[in-house]
Each structure stands twice: as C-alpha cells, then as structure tokens.
C-alpha cells in the first residue's frame, strides 16, 4: 500500500520473494543447460539457451496460473500471491529471451527482415504437423508484453481494477497460444514421452485447479445469496452474530455482489468484499490495528467508513447495518465509497 507511485514499492516480503525467484531461475537454467549439454553433447549453446529460457517461461506461467486457484482452495498459499506480478513480468522476460535467441538463430541470417521472416516463412495453416507454431509463440509474447507493461499500480489505479483485471485475464489466451506453440512445435520433433507427459501434467493441473476453485465459488455464492427482507423491507437477515469470529468477517451475497460483515470490539460493520486495489476478497482478511486488511496485498480500510486511513485515498462502499435479537441485518443498497456508517452495537441489541 503506497501513496505515491514508485518503480517498485520494495519491502522485506518483496525482496525475499524476488530473491527466491531469482535463485530459482538461475538454478533451473544451470541445471537445464548442464544436463542438456551432458545428455546431448551435440547440442549447441544457442539451442540449449533457447530451450532453457522457453521451458523456464512455460514453467513460470504454469506457476502464475495455479497460484490464484490454490489461494482460493487453501489460504496458506496467499504469500505466493503477494508478489505474483513480479512472477508474471519475469515470465515475460524469460519468454523474450527465448524469442530473441530463436529469431536470431532461425530468422536473422537470411535475406528477409527477421520479423517478416518469422511471420511469412511458414504459412501452412491447414496442416497440423506443419502448422506455423512460431507465430503462435509470437502472439503469446505480444500478450505477455502488454500485461507486463501495464502491471504497475499506476495502470491499475488509472484503468480501475475491473478494467485492469479484464486486460490481465488475456493471460489465458496467451496460455492457450503457448500450449499450441509447444504441442505443434517442439513436440512434433522431440518424441521423448517425458516431454509430452510434463506438458500434459501442467495443463491438467492448471485446468483442474481452476475448475475446482470455480465450482467452490459457485457453491459458496449460492449458499450465501440472501434475499429475505425484514418486516419493513429494508434490511436482510444475513447471519447470527455468533457465526462471525472476532476481528473476522462472514461473506454473504446481497443483490448479486459479495459483502463482508465484520465483527470487532463488540461492533458490526459491513463493507463491500471487493478491495479497490486489485479486487481482492476483503472478507477473507482480518482486522489489524483497527483496519480491515486485504489478504492479497495488505491494503487497509477503516471498518466503519470503508476509507483507507490518511494519507491513503482508497475507499470501498459501505452498508447500513443493525443487530436485532442476535441477528445481523444489512441494508443491501450500497452507500457511496467511503461513507461512514455507525457500527451496530452487539451488546445493546443482543437481547433484542
């Protein structure tokens, strides 16, 4: 959480994250090139580097894609999510190194512009085994470039989180292009079954984890979707006070969107469940130092107003709430972001 834009808002967690990432990449490339040279003495350094960078990028992209659903399934994976954008940018850099070396090796020494050669040297689009797989990889790299270049919070704040999220969901198109790039490219010539098995396992992991977490979300939404109003028709009975842990929230769905009902210090406050930063799930966070704290990147909001404490300027919608007979009643109409709402007192209303 920061007030101004810097290149990178370094903190201890990000430094550890990036150090582990850098060490992992150096170790992977060293092992790949060392083992590759040992097992294939005839392989050139250029070929080993091209394949090393390519497989590294593909491996990183798989990790990037499974972090999200893993966090939905088990909150212990949340530390991986914290700096996922650096993982994504690193994926692009590895892919760029792979593509740069490949274009130089296969297209730069002819009499055509290398990029023109890349796009026109193979046009057999109707033959699957001869398909121009390099164009597929180039398309994926363009998407990863767009994502890497807009990954900074500057773009997130100016595009708004929903637009930014939509833009960055194009990573799935890039992933599809890369699966086709590898399947119709290197796997056509390299028939070692281990290579196909590794790619198949990665593909199965990504798809199955997303389907499992997605189905859980659908079930959770259907169970928490509420529409029973009180007698006056203004408030919806969302849960019992006792169902909410202290300094935690219960997430319910009102009018199609999720809201987080927080209990703290004998009070109840209700906020939108959607963090303004990256639309993280505020209701899965907890109250730290008197502030609702997003579990994704630590953005904080005052529970009664939905506004970040000064000097920060993030704000989320709030909801009117009351407690009656030990039940929490919420008005489903969201108030403008940052609107202060008097918290409902639990003690005064518990006997109802």
Partner 1 sequence: MISSLRRHHRQAFLVLAVVLPLIFAAGLLVRRSAPVAEAPPVKLPTASDRSGLVAWDEAGLRLGSGADYLDVVPTGAAGFPDILLYWSPGSPEADTPGSQAILLGPIDGVRAQRFPLPDFAREFDGYLIAWSLAHRRAVAVRAWPKGGLR
- For position 210 contacting partner 1 by CB under 8 A, the verdict is yes
Measured CA to CA, the distance from residue 252 to residue 261 in angstroms comes to 8
* Closer CB to partner 1, 22 or 128, in the complex: 128
Can residue 129 be called a binding residue for partner 1 (CB under 8 A)?
Answer: yes
Phi, psi for residue 260 in degrees, rounded to 5: -110, 125
Residues of this chain, 261-290, that bind partner 1 according to CB under 8 A: 274, 279
Going 4 to 75 to 85 to 256, the CA torsion angle's sign is negative
Radius of gyration in angstroms for the set of CA atoms belonging to the chain, rounded to a whole number = 25
The answer to whether 90 contacts partner 1 (rule: CB under 8 A) is: no
**C-alpha–C-alpha distance, residues 255 and 325, integer Å:** 24
Q: Which residue in the set 35, 116, 218, 288 belongs to the binding site for partner 1 (CB under 8 A)?
A: 218
Choose which of 169, 245, 288, 313 interacts with partner 1 (CB under 8 A).
169
CA 20, 21, 27, 30 torsion-angle sign = negative
Strand pairing report for 291-293 and 286-288: antiparallel
Report the largest interatomic distance among the alpha carbons of the chain, rounded to a whole angstrom.
86
CA distance 133 to 49: 19
Give the residue among 352, 348, 346 at the shortest CA–CA distance from 242. 346
Contact status: 299 vs partner 1 (CB under 8 A): no
| 86 CB burial (10 A radius; 0-12, 13-18, 19+) | middle
Residue 211 beta carbon to partner 1: minimum distance, rounded to whole angstroms = 6
Pairing mode of beta strands 267-272, 344-345: antiparallel
Which of 110, 246, 288, 325 binds partner 1 (CB under 8 A)? It is: 110
339 near partner 1, judged by CB under 8 A: no
105 lies in the binding site for partner 1 (CB under 8 A): no
Among 16, 23, 26, 176, binds partner 1 (CB under 8 A): 176
Q: Which stretch binds partner 1 (CB under 8 A): 5-13, 77-85, 87-95, 178-186?
A: 178-186
> Site for partner 1 (CB under 8 A): which residue of 11, 105, 150, 188?
188
Q: Does 46 bind partner 1 (CB under 8 A)?
A: no
DSSP string, 212-249: HHHHHHHHHHHHHEE--B-TTSS-EEEEEGGGS-TTEE
Q: How far is the CB of 267 from partner 1 (least distance, A)?
A: 27
Minimum distance of partner 1 from residue 254's CB (angstroms): 11
Task: Choose which of 257, 313, 333, 342 interacts with partner 1 (CB under 8 A).
Answer: 257
Using CB under 8 A as the criterion, which residues of the chain lie in contact with partner 1 when the complex forms? Answer: 110-111, 124, 127-130, 162, 165-166, 169, 172, 175-176, 179-180, 183-184, 187-189, 191, 196, 199-200, 203, 207, 210-211, 214, 217-218, 221, 253, 256-258, 274, 279
């Amino acid at each position: 959480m920061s007030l101004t834009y810097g290149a990178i808002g370094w903190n201890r967690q990000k430094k550890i994250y990036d150090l582990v990432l850098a060490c992992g990449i150096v170790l992977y490339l060293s092992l790949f090139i060392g083992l590759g040279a040992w097992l294939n003495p005839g392989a050139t350094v250029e070929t080993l580097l091209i394949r090393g960078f390519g497989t590294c990028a593909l491996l990183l992209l798989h990790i990037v894609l499974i972090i999200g659903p893993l966090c939905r399934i088990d909150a212990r994976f949340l530390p991986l999510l914290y700096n996922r954008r650096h993982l994504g940018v690193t994926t692009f850099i590895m892919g760029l190194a792979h593509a740069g070396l490949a274009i130089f090796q296969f297209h730069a020494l002819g009499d055509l512009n290398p990029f023109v050669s890349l796009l026109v040297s193979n046009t057999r689009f109707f033959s699957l085994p001869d398909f121009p797989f390099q164009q597929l990889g180039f398309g994926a790299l363009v998407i990863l470039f767009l994502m890497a270049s807009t990954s900074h919070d500057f773009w997130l704040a100016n595009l708004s989180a929903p637009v930014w999220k939509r833009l960055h969901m194009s990573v799935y198109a890039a992933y599809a292009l890369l699966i086709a790039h590898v399947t119709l490219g290197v796997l056509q010539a390299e028939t070692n079954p281990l290579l196909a098995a590794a790619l198949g396992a990665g593909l199965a992991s990504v798809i199955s984890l997303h389907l499992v977490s997605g189905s859980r979300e659908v079930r959770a939404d259907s169970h928490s979707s509420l529409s029973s109003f009180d007698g006056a028709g203004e408030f919806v009975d969302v849960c019992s006070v006792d169902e909410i842990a202290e300094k935690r929230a219960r997430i319910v769905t009102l009018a199609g969107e999720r809201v987080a009902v927080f209990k703290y210090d004998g009070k109840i406050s209700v906020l939108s469940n959607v963090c303004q930063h990256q639309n993280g799930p505020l209701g899965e966070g907890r109250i730290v130092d008197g502030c609702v704290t997003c579990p994704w990147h630590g953005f904080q909001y005052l529970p009664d107003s939905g506004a970040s404490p000064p000097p920060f300027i993030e704000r989320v919608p709030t909801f009117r709430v009351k407690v009656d007979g030990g039940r929490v009643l919420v008005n489903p109409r969201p108030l403008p972001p940052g609107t202060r709402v008097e918290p409902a007192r639990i003690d005064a209303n518990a006997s109802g």
